[in-house]
Structure 1
Amino acid sequence: MPTQNCDPMPARPLNTEIQGVLWDMDGTLLDTEPHWMAAEARLVAEFGGRWSHEQALELVGNALPDAAAALQRAGVALTEREIIDRLTAEVEAGVGRHVDWRPGALELLEALHAASIPCGLVTMSEEPLAALVLEQLPKKYFAFRVTGDMVSRGKPHPEPYLLGLRLLGEHVAELEPARVIGIEDSAPGIASAAASGITAVLVEHIAPVPDSASWQRVGSLLGLDVDSLGALVSTGVRA
């Protein structure tokens, strides 16, 4: 019998329905970076050192133990825990006075809430500061949070986002990482998100971040909605 030519099976289309959104906090949800940078400069100055703007930019998005180590190298003669506590206390005081939400963040959170898409916070800040920030929101937009004191390896390691995916899986059946959006503003953060296998979206803020095939860049959260995030899933690349 002659061999029959069979048409190849059509490729299964990517399901672009978003299953969840994981948000960074500092610099993405709200602008706390000036508080962190000022606190670092004051602490270094207290021990007779100098702290440049360029040095501060290098710490944006990093895990707090890494930031503490950098300050120790700059001459701060305190333990890691003492440095983290000093910095965090100053940032908490700043947030307590005023919250500067990033443009479009609250609007996007509301759109996701209206569409019943769960959100989680994935931050290198520790629990007290994260709790303080979330208390300032007009609604309970976040189903859970991952904080720096919950992981052994911080950003840029994928552990924070892998934990975020595990917690999101408690709210979403048959979770597919590619259908989860991770929103970040810093190089360590976006690398962490991309390495976890989710759709990583960069909204660069105070520190420059190079382009990469592992993530997508948007200019602002302003104007983003559920449909435009779904388009990012459909065109997204994976680490």
Structure 2
Amino acid sequence: MLCFSGVSVDYGTGADVVHAIADTSLCVERGTVLALIGASGCGKSTLLRVGAGLVQPTAGTITSDGVPIDPRTLRIGFLPQNYGLLAWKTVRENILLGAQIKGEWSTERVSAFDELVAELGLSDLLERYPRELSGGQQQRVGLARVFLLSPDLLLMDEPFSALDAITRESMQEVFLSLWKKQAVTTLLVTHYVEEALTLAGRIAVMRGTPGRVAEIMDNPYAGDLAHRSSQAFFAMGQELRAKIAGGV
């Protein structure tokens, strides 16, 4: 569904150039979740923004089903770390924003809207503004907006990192519940090992400066919350930490 081929990204020119990503190739298969994980500064968020069309690569190509990616024709749901809510719009208006921008808000989507806000516990909050919500509630609004769009591709940039541990785990469960209904192709940036193991069927480890994908591993525990407290889950987490550090 989404392929990066030989992608490099430089910021600046001449003596001031910063090499953020070098010669990175990666494919996200349709209907799967792939997590990008690695130390700060290794280019995870830059690669995600390249996929969203927000950053132009210095070299390489980004394709969707073999065709150069075009955000104007592809429905891309983008969920940033700060939830991306507009402070001057109500919860209802924020949720509808993506579908309206794409010109896809219609009477047929009303039932989908009602179902989403009910499942996310937002029915009584629709006339509030973001400043009147907790972090977890704001995150639910962000999830409602991207899933209402029924995106072809979902890009998430550390979406739960600003939440406390208990709320973060709760929001991971909410995401999985929504994702299983749409199975949207998802690229997730996270620096939490347990989050990658909980949500992503494949995990790409990025290392170095400039950043590169050093390894991609399959994850048998994705989507099965019962494994989060198992010894095998813990052991795989330790293995993944070692790979991030470059020790394996």
Answer whether TM exceeds 0.5 for this pair: no
Bigger radius of gyration: 1
Instruction: Identify, as 1 or 2, the structure richer in strand.
Output: 2
TM-score (norm 1): 0.29
- Name the TM-score, length of structure 2 as normaliser: 0.29
